[in-house]
Amino acid sequence: MKVFEDEYLGEIPQGFKSVISNDFELMNFTIQVNSNQCNACNNCIDACSEKALFMADKSDLNNENWKYFDTLPKLDRTIIDTSKVSQQQLQEPLFEYSNGDDGCGEAPYFKLLSQLFGDRLLIANATGSSSIFGGALPTTPWTKNKAGKGPVWSNSLFEDNAEFGLGFRLSLDQQEYEARTLLKKMMQFLDFDLVYDIITAKQHSEIEIIKQQNRVTQLKEILNKIKTSEADKLNRYADALVKKSVWCVGGDGWAYDIGFGGLDHVIASGKNVNILILDNGVYSNTGGQMSKATPFGASAKFAHLGKTKQKKDLGLMAMTYADVYVASVAMGANQEQTLKAFKEAESFDGPSVIIAYCHSNSHGIDMRNPSQYHKAAVASGQWLLYRNDPRKLKSFQLDSNQPTLKTEDYLKMEKRFDRLLKSTNNLLINKLKINIDKRFQKYKSLSYS
């Protein structure tokens, strides 16, 4: 997506389409697809509807529209209202052309992370599907902006990824402490107002962070002219004066199972670390084995006849700590709620946990049209949307409505529940219904406490 001024209209290729922007007066709005990179997953059509986009044969297309689109300038990040999906998606993505499964349920969350937090984003990625497509060297979907800057990404193991990400935070905090100490020591060589503005900068918004980045650039230019060891050291640490966004990311095999002890350690640390759990309810990358996130009744390896135990409620467990932000989201069901959760989690000065619903091939679904499954999971009560923000007097907010979709109608949509539906033991489905209702009522009661 881009918006652009009228001055560019005279140069557009024949067939290049745009409309007047609803959000930015006297500017033109366009969405373009890079046909050379399109894998025909159909997810853009699923998101936008066939009224906006339709599938066509690549041989009938040329890429002139994309080439021209690529020359259009990016919109100034400081004028984008990131609380609105329609504007937020104009932020430049620094995650492009993932080589995961066609229609991958995890990639859109990474794209959103890269757009919101850009070149100040640091990711510790647990081993799993996301680490495979994230670092399938010599290629990677993680990219950089025109200034040559982009997110920092590294992969660690199932069992220690959370601690690995905590190390990012601790090292950044130490570097910031060193930089602030050196700033005060070198005050006589530096501009007083510049140092004061750097030290007192709030950095709560995109505008404030960009201003801080500009101040640090000025500082480094001054330091380059001062030939002392302290100036050299401050120059190395100066970037730590700009707010960084640290995220530990991985699947449910990491967060619910093998890496749970480390996850709990980081949540209990009180440090400003964000945790994104890409929950598809199964060990997808290693063949579809059952995890503690696998829902009741779903078939998977080691649960061939269907899992007989309720899914681990990781969000509720995280909320037993009073100083942790926790959210449960499903992008295909509610984009606005997902966006709010990511922004709130990152702005929270402490641990935050986002559990994100991810569709998967292992669910036995049509990967070309995934949003229907997100919506159905929420409408049936199988997946709840909520946000728990300790900064608020009433910290918990249930964003899901009372379930309206019958449990059987939801189960029929995904092949992983076929054995449960074919079972002559109706007690299993009744048990699932009871569990869904009890869980909804439990969370509903939290919103009144």
Q: Mind listing the pLDDT tens digit for each residue in 196-253?
A: 999 999 999 999 999 999 999 999 999 999 989 999 999 999 999 999 999 999 999 9
Please give the distance of CA 328 from its chain centroid, rounded to a whole number.
Answer: 12
Cα separation of 383 and 223, whole Å?
A: 53
pLDDT at 135: 87
Q: Alpha carbon of 315 to those of 159, 321, 325: distances in Å?
A: 19, 11, 10
- How far are the Cα atoms of 89, 112, 207, 228 from residue 93, in angstroms, in the given order? 8, 7, 18, 39
Is 299 a residue whose pLDDT tops 90? no
CATH 3.20.20.70 is right for the domain spanning 1-73: no
Estimate the crossing angle of helix 192-200 against helix 161-185, to 10 degrees. Answer: 150
User: Which superfamily is assigned to 100-449 in CATH?
Assistant: Thiamin diphosphate (ThDP)-binding fold, Pyr/PP domains (3.40.50.970)
Provide the pLDDT for residue 319: 97
In 227-358, alpha helices (H): 229-237, 252, 260-269, 314-318, 335-347
Q: How far apart are CA 419 and CA 295, in angstroms?
A: 13
Q: Where in the chain is the domain with CATH 3.40.50.970?
A: 100-449
Please tell me the distance from the alpha carbon of residue 403 to that of residue 189, in angstroms, as a whole number: 64
- pTM value is 0.95
pLDDT in tens, 88-147: 999 999 999 888 888 899 999 999 999 999 999 999 999 988 898 898 888 899 999 999
Q: Which part of the chain has CATH 3.30.70.20?
A: 1-73
Strand 325-329 and strand 352-357: the pairing is parallel
**pLDDT at residue number 449:** 67
| 284 token code pair | 């997808």
* 390: preceding bond cis by omega (within 30 degrees): no
Tens digit of each residue's pLDDT (9 = 90 or more) over 391-418: 999 999 999 999 999 999 999 999 999 9
Q: What is the pLDDT of residue 99?
A: 83
pLDDT, tens only, 33-91: 888 888 889 999 998 877 888 888 877 677 889 999 999 999 999 999 999 999 999 99
Q: Can you say whether the dihedral through the CA atoms of 321, 324, 330, 334 is positive or negative?
A: positive
64 CB-side CA count, 13 A: 10
Phi, psi of 354 (to 5 degrees): -120, 125
∠ Cα 401 402 407 (to 5°): 120
**Quick one: tokens of 396?**
């918990």
Q: Would you call 137 exposed, middle or buried from its count of C-beta atoms within 10 A (0-12, 13-18, 19+)?
A: exposed
Summary mean pLDDT of the chain: 93
- Dihedral angle of Cα 298, 303, 308, 310, to the nearest 10 degrees: -60
